[in-house]
Amino acid sequence: MSTATDTVSLVDVSSYLPKNRVSADYFARYASPEDAISSAMFKAPPFRSHIAPGETPADMAEQAIAAMVERRGTALLDEVDILIVHTQMPETFIVGNGGEIAERLGITPEWLIDLHNGGCAAFIHAMKVARQILTSSDARSALIVTVQNAAGQIFTQDQVRGKPQAAVPGDGAGVGLLVKSGDSPILDIETRHLPEFAGQMTVVADPPRKYWEAGTGQLHVGFTESKIAKVLARGNRIVPEAAHAVCARIGVRSEDLDVLVTNQPNRAFLRNWRDALQLPIERHPDTFDECGNLFAAGMPVTFDQAVRAGRVPAGSLVMFAGFAHAGDFAAAAAVRWGGR
């Protein structure tokens, strides 16, 4: 039986969405028939938020943690020995934005990790890394920060905004706090790396160039009908597989989960995942229609909104699940939520 000292809990989450709320009409006016792809992958949400001009990942992280600090006091930052940051589009070349975020929060963690892989499932990946460090060291708490800042900067460029993919992403940030306690225990985590698919999420430009080379063509994600079909099939399979693996180890049926929180790629994935886990729609909160695809920020933002709406009472069995990129990573984590 685990004790409070060898159990790690996800005790709080908070989030931030930029104030610039953009409707699907913005993208519809630029839609290019030449770039049309008939796919559920790119059915646009009604709304999403876009990062403000000049807004940085550190700005977004500071806004995301503000509500948590207000609830718990600034003393919570004094005990953060682990800071793990995933930024969709790091603005500090090579090193990432973790150091800038630490400086903004006024902390000097012993472990400062910029987690560049993990993609849309980076929140779970970071939970696993943080839990391992917490249970094998004297670290007191871990702060996980996920920032999605590409929607308003990449997907609104004049050569990109007319593509079907441009209307799906939104910007936002989410934060999770992990501590050594049994108050809101992480029951199990499953992570699956599938490196054979790692090279299938490509960034392209016309004319072709490396992302770091100067050129006139604006960068965007390279999609084809064939690639989309493979990603849809892969994503539909690997996310439920990871969640079922966790369910098996903690001894519950998937249909007995109280809440399912996933990343938010599109409505098709959301429907297929809850069907595969035999869960009704009311147990699978999502933010897609209001926020679009928030990439790695999707899980903490969605969970924070569900908690604030009273949809996750204390004692709820919560399953976080998702996948990354073209399917090179999938993860799931079960938490017995202790409430706020």
pLDDT in tens, 245-304: 999 999 999 999 999 999 999 999 999 999 999 999 999 999 999 999 999 999 999 999
Q: Indicate if 187-336 has the same CATH topology as 8-182.
A: yes
Distance CA 331, CA 121 (A): 6
The pLDDT of 228-256, averaged and rounded, is: 97
What are the tokens at 133? Answer: 């460090």
pLDDT band at 225 (very low <50, low <70, confident <90, very high): confident
pLDDT band at 38 (very low <50, low <70, confident <90, very high): low
pLDDT band at 46 (very low <50, low <70, confident <90, very high): very high
pLDDT in tens, 179-191: 999 999 999 999 9
For residue 4, the model assigns a pLDDT of 43
Name 88's Cβ contacts closer than 8 Å, sequence gap at least 6: 147, 148, 149, 150, 295, 296, 297
pLDDT band at 90 (very low <50, low <70, confident <90, very high): very high
Show the DSSP H helices in the chain as ranges. 24-28, 57-72, 75-78, 98-105, 122-135, 225-250, 267-276, 288-291, 298-308
- Rounded to 5 degrees, what are φ and ψ at 209? -165, 165
Distance CA 261, CA 298 (A): 9
Distance CA 87, CA 150 (A): 9
Domain spans of the chain, in order of start:
8-182, 187-336
- Rounded to 5 degrees, what are φ and ψ at 186? -80, 115
Q: What's the CATH number for 8-182?
A: 3.40.47.10
Tell me which of 69-78, 195-204, 301-310, 317-326 is least confident. Answer: 195-204
Assigned CATH class of 187-336? alpha beta
Name the pTM for this structure: 0.96
DSSP state of 34: G
Give which of 156, 166, 126 is closest to 13, Cα–Cα: 126
Give which of 263, 242, 233 is closest to 190, Cα–Cα: 242
pLDDT band at 37 (very low <50, low <70, confident <90, very high): low
